[in-house]
């Protein structure tokens, strides 16, 4: 009889100890999950800062050091200036919109990277890199070197790379693909502007 009582007491004590240990472990588990989420959030913010800041910084440096606006609006008109079409934006607005496009493409690329899209589809990374490189080259070629004909070739390349980005991004993250659309529209506008600059240069040569 006494042994049965002792056995029941031992079992109850063990059960109480197990319950106490489990209850003590719950806050620790919650704390561990919270720390893990915080660490993941910090990594996400760091990667977002790099993904957006890198193309934005490169575009700014390209504009500041290589793109002086030479060849934009110059010609054989009075004072050596063409009478630009009403839809010709001022150069500062072109630069500001190029910076905005770089920001949007950086965010779009980050969304694809977060989904593991660049690892699953390396072609998406190649097209993203191509559009970034060509976008950085276009301004200095057209405005810095004053070579709109070569710039038109570069602009067509940008359009092709952006079309590739949209096609690849659409199957990975639809929001990332939607962010490409305004960048494509801006590149198409730049192509029309670039074409106008080419025709202006040809008119200068005929005069």
pLDDT surpassing 60 at residue 52: yes
Greater model confidence, 35 or 171: 171
* CATH class name, domain 52-206: mainly alpha
CB 137 within 8 A of CB 154: yes
What's the rounded Cα separation, in Å, for the pair 165 and 46? 23
The stretches of 62-90 forming alpha helices (DSSP H) are: none
pLDDT at 53: 94
pLDDT at 119: 92
What's the rounded Cα separation, in Å, for the pair 182 and 74? 28
Write the burial class of residue 196 (CB in 10 Å: 0-12 exposed, 13-18 middle, 19+ buried).
Answer: middle
pTM: 0.76
79 band by pLDDT with thresholds 50, 70 and 90: very low
Q: How far is CA 122 from the centre of its chain?
A: 16
Question: What are the CA-CA distances from residue 164 to residues 53, 81, 150, 168 (Å)?
Answer: 22, 38, 21, 6
Supply the mean pLDDT for the chain. Answer: 81
Stretch 160-187: mean pLDDT, rounded?
96
């Amino acid at each position: 009889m006494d042994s049965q009582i002792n056995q029941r007491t031992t079992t109850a004590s063990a059960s109480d100890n197990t319950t106490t240990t489990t209850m003590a472990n719950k806050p620790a588990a919650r704390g561990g999950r919270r720390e893990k989420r915080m660490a993941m959030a910090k990594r996400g913010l760091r990667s977002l800062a790099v993904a957006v800041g890198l193309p934005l910084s490169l575009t700014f440096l390209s504009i500041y050091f290589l793109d002086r606006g030479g060849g934009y609006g110059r010609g054989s008109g009075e004072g050596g200036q063409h009478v630009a079409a009403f839809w010709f934006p001022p150069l500062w607005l072109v630069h500001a919109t190029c910076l905005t496009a770089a920001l949007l493409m950086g965010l779009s690329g980050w969304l694809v990277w977060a989904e593991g899209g660049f690892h699953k589809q390396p072609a998406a990374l190649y097209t993203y890199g191509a559009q970034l490189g060509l976008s950085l080259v276009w301004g200095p070629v057209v405005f810095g070197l004053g070579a709109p004909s070569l710039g038109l070739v570069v602009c067509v390349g940008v359009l092709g790379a952006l079309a590739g980005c949209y096609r690849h991004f659409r199957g990975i993250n639809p929001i990332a693909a939607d962010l490409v659309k305004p960048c494509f529209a801006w590149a198409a506008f730049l192509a029309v502007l670039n074409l106008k600059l080419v025709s202006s240069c040809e008119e200068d040569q005929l005069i």
